[in-house]
Structure 1
């Protein structure tokens, strides 16, 4: 362990301990309960930040700088270039570069747009072309995950290099990464950084993520939790196919279990019904017990086909018995009708008067309908998953961010991952604020979908470290709600004089300042010269995006409302203008902060405000304004100063 990592561990430990000391004091001794409506939300927001500090400290505790693999590259490889509606020239340039990769391989363009001109371009380049098969018609498409799953069943390479349409690979990308799979047969994934060449030095859109594609992924790698980021990654086909088969089996088991539970309920209600003859209730209860037994057999690992086949035979035998009894009951019912009803003299048909109707309504009729419903449920059980184009779906389809979901499921099955910290592909980042906001929203929505559908904290198969590493990424997208509190608190103090803490005392500064300063030092040591200010700005400045992601992901997963999928524009600027409707919350916050600061100065001038409190909150406001200013810079941004970077990426 190097001296730098010893320092990081010391700083990480101090950050957590000082944070606990500060937050404990805040909860126990400093809340201004007279202003609980802002004091409590503020301390909750600070507690959220402490959890954030803890998760970052745990991430960096085992940060790993991997050496190059020792084994030579080996195995067959398919290179997949995923595309939907990107420009033909861009995809062709990436495909041409992929074809020049030095290691023997097959290159495939996966065209989800099914464009004839893209097919022709692939033929001209001498690379493979795959689009959706006919089985996908009228079935869920699952966006990029579906595109990859379709191609997986049409190719044979032992390993897959996955590239987005704009990610131009280095000729040695496979030579530099394939050795990890030979070094460790349990490695399923090798992820390399994403790097964008059409980004100015100032990068007002924050597209480069050097902290994530560096210390954070290295930290996750130390916990065997470096995850798939959608592109510039190599995956082992066997691992993906195992994942698909396990998912298929689980899906069939779950659908069978749901059907059997429904059958139990139907039979139980029929047995309790007043309309069911006492002589048949025992048969229905017995059949219900047989269904429950079948469900337990399947839960214990019994073969679904065999168990349901035997159960279906039992239901048919029971139905025959019930039908036989029903015929006797029906004949008896007809006799009752004949006895109670009069006869129409002209037609000879029975006439049922009120007395006869009352007598017939009180009669108990056959439970055959319950039997028929159970038989229909069993008949509906299908092992071919008719609702899907492919029974086996190797890439996870539970989220629009199929990459993270797939990696987490691979880790849960016991597979390992590697983060290789070397730029081996160059891509194109969004060049306007509107496109960037769309991209960030999709990332956040997909991550939160995974959290709601497959929460890592309770997922079987993951280690404690892996649970925390996945949860840390998901947790970060909940920050939009805390941002509102952090923006509102100084405004409320400067304008109304309402204090969320009991006093701006020595106790406050003695606890807060060490915690804050050690946090900043830890960040600087971890970053080691990397420019991270943009990332810090956007973690707060995009609070409306994070909140929208939370609400829309919740609506999609819990309320079953559709969630749209937008492909990031990668062919230059969106010239439709500044997205005022998307950034009005940030602009409003800027205006309110400025006004609050002016009011605070005015209150000092007339002697109605505390000087220390006003100073603290003014510094707070200035920091918030510095953070939010990135939105104005991004809105005014007009793309890279030249097209040379984009041309470089496509050569």
Structure 2
């Protein structure tokens, strides 16, 4: 017989979901994402639905009190979830405002008059190879701002780099030790600049693998029209795919992991006056740096602490959301995770320092909240992500119900909250959060990041600075077995537990009621997340590849023949041309805009033309570097594209099955 009360309850739950979906689909037609009132209204509704969900979880779904496995499992998971929700709500409050400063930069361009401010461009380096440093140095020299000095701060004391800098006409510095790591390296340079006859007015900082666009300095300086501004931070963009994008084959259809922070969170933080320095791609006022005594060295994330030091002294930090630099994302998964664990550790060190949220200092309440919000993110998001894949196993192997809920209530309360959140994110930050892929991004580094979070909180001192390695040989498939191992074990346990629960009666726990349907869906979802995480641990080969921002034409000149060709692929070493074919070995010149006539040699025919090897002069090579890295729009994709994601993941799975 049909259970009419159950059908009625499910119908009511479905109505709640349809209402959230229907209203959510109308948001894009009336919400102005730059209007803070609109943003606040959307996020207030999200907050209320989140509070409704948490109240329901705490009052209706937990096991009865008592020293039982059910109680310990149920209540501990709720504790993880509650803490993670506090962090989520804090981020909702931050996202309720936004400030975009491009119009301000336009209005105050050239406020300094006829005499350009003097700018020192500091490029700190430790172990980067010449091909990485070359493009950064060439890009810095090509900046449109004329009154500048480029300085290379070498913490490895390499003679070849000293000689290269002399040939490039840039200033080279080294120091006798490595005290203070990167911050100490920059402080040594600041002290030497203070001894110059004319010190700089502003200091720009670039990582060794970040290339500035031509307008980087002038656009940032425009915001220093306000004498209270001590620092201007700009976003970081990457000309290569991060390891998750690359290893899953979705680099052209899924944004890099940093896009959410730089494109959405930082402008929102700026709306509250709490945008913070991220090291590279920033410009600081000289007098502000000297006022605080240089970069702080108490944390391995000296950039965030620099912001707090400035704010403690009354200086403002602002954010210019324009693509003005582009750099090299960590190419290996180990480097990617190590970098994020260092960020986490450094933030914990700051929280325990003289500039922590509970310390006695001159920070505003909002500055203290800024640190607390970051602590919540690192200490709750990643442990909760681990818990989410572990706790369902307690049901399949021990019969423990960690979420005892009716299916209709799950749909009505959690389902409505989740669906509405997705609709709001779709409007405020389109294409940023894709279920499963977002979870993979968090899970893959969750174990070392969680360890770093609590190590930093309880033992903040005595940790070395871990340099993120860039460049190197990436031409082979590499399996990160140690990183993959825990996810492989969890995936195996999840699949075995699921099969036992379905096919073996004694593991089915039929008396679990609707709770088993919650765990069933949860488990199947985890199978997808864990499978993708394991797949992401298989690092695919990389090769340099630059596609023209738009279709481009070039003239190919050989003896007795001049023809136009379409450029379909252009790198520092090769070009692929569509058009007439020529025999392998044919010598000629390829006429490219900005670079002139570059000597080339045909090395292979293609289905629609030829592939040629470029033989540029030093000047032409530098012109190509500027064209690739210092001009044009932001590299990469800014939002997820469903069709591209499906195609990319399908190709990646086909590649794995065909190996």
Note whether the superposition's TM-score is higher than 0.5: yes
1:41: how far off?
0.8
**Correspondence 1:93 to 2:148:** no
Say if 1:510 and 1:208 are closer, same or farther in 2 by CA, change over 3 A. closer
2:301 aligns with one of 389, 392, 401: 401
- Check 1:607–1:100 CA distance in 2 against 1; reply closer, same or farther (3 A cut): closer
In the TM superposition, residue 607 of structure 1 has moved relative to its aligned partner by: 6.0
Q: Distance in 2 between matches of 1:414 and 1:572?
A: 46
Structure-1-length-normalised TM-score? 0.71
Equivalent residue in structure 2 for 1:18, among 43, 49, 55? 49
Please, which of 252, 258, 280 is the counterpart of residue 231 of structure 1?
280
Aligned residue number for residue 241 of structure 1 = 290
2:537 partner SS: helix
The answer as to whether partners of 2:247 and 2:535 remain within 8 angstroms in 1 is: yes
Structure 1 unaligned spans of 5+: 245-393
The structural deviation recorded for 1:465 is 2.7
| 1:596 paired residue among 489, 492, 497 | 497
Q: Cα distance 1:112–1:49, how it changes in 2: closer, same or farther (>3 A)?
A: same
**Which of residues 171, 179, 197 in structure 2 aligns to 1:141?**
179
2:26 counterpart residue number: none
1:168 aligns with 2:211: yes
**Residue 566 (str. 1) matches residue 601 (str. 2):** no
Conservation of the 8 A alpha-carbon contact between 2:230 and 2:288: yes
**C-alpha distance 564-161 of structure 1, shift in aligned 2 (>3 A):** closer
- Given candidates 266, 275, 300, the residue that maps to 1:217 is 266
Contact conserved, 1:240 with 1:395, CA < 8 A, in 2? Answer: yes
* Alignment correspondent of 2:167: 124
1:43-97 Cα deviation digits (max 9, x unpaired): 1112112212211111111122223322234421000111011012321321121
1:49 aligned residue (84, 88, 95): 84
Measure the CA separation in 1 of the matches of 2:475 and 2:310. Answer: 37
Q: 1:98 to 1:512 in 2, by over 3 A?
A: same
After superposition, residues 441-452 of structure 1 pair within 5 angstroms as 441-452=341-352
Structure 2 Cα separation of the partners of residues 641 and 527 of structure 1 = 31
Deviates more, 1:92-101 or 1:398-407: 92-101
Write the distance in 1 (CA, Å) between the matches of 2:412 and 2:354: 41
**Counterpart in the other structure of 1:493:** 395
Distance 1:243 1:126 in 2: 31
**Equivalent of 2:520 in 601, 618, 627:** 618
Residue 3 of structure 1 is matched in structure 2 by: 32
**What's 1:412 paired with?**
312
Aligned position for 1:587? 488
CA contact (8 A) 2:288 2:315 kept: yes
SS in 2 for 1:51: helix
Query: What do you get for the CA RMSD once the two structures are aligned?
Result: 2.7
Please state how far the C-alpha of 1:239 moved relative to its aligned partner. 1.0
CA 1:470/1:606 → structure 2, altered by over 3 Å: closer, same or farther?
A: closer
2:228 aligns to what?
186
Matched-pair contact (CA < 8 Å) for 1:159–1:234? yes
CA deviation vs aligned residue, 1:499-539 (integer Å, no higher than 9, x gap):
12444364454322222222222222221234656444322
Query: Deviation string for 1:348-392 (max 9, x for gaps)?
Result: xxxxxxxxxxxxxxxxxxxxxxxxxxxxxxxxxxxxxxxxxxxxx
Equivalences for residues 236-275 of structure 1 within 5 A: 236-244=285-293
Instruction: Assess, with a 3 A threshold, how the Cα gap between structure 1 residues 454 and 582 changes in structure 2: closer, same or farther.
Output: farther
1:289-313 Cα offsets, whole Å, 9 max, x none, are xxxxxxxxxxxxxxxxxxxxxxxxx
Of 568-577 and 412-421, deviating more is 568-577
Structure 2: state its 5+ residue gaps.
1-29, 194-198, 249-254, 548-570, 573-624, 631-659
How many residue pairs end up in the alignment?
494
* Bigger RCO (CA 8 Å, 6+ sep): 1
Greater share of strand: 2
* Max Rg structure: 1
SS in 2 for 1:188: strand
Q: What is the CA distance between 1:591 and its match in structure 2?
A: 1.8
Q: Tell me how far 1:625 sits from its aligned partner.
A: 3.0
- Summarize the alignment of residues 249-328 of structure 1 with structure 2, pairs less than 5 Å apart: none
Report the Cα distance in structure 1 between the residues aligned to 2:82 and 2:295, rounded to whole angstroms. Answer: 36
How far apart in 2 are the matches of 1:412 and 1:628? Answer: 44
Deviation at 1:36, TM superposition (A): 1.3
Q: Give the 3 Å change call, closer, same or farther, for CA 102–620 of structure 1 in structure 2.
A: same
Match of 2:8 in 1: none
- SS of the aligned residue for 1:123 comes to helix
Q: Distance in 2 between matches of 1:109 and 1:545?
A: 32
**Cα distance per residue 1:168-215 (max 9 Å; x no partner):** 111111121101001x11111111111111228944488541111111
Query: Residues 606 and 162 (structure 1 numbering): CA distance in 2 closer, same or farther, change over 3 Å?
Result: closer
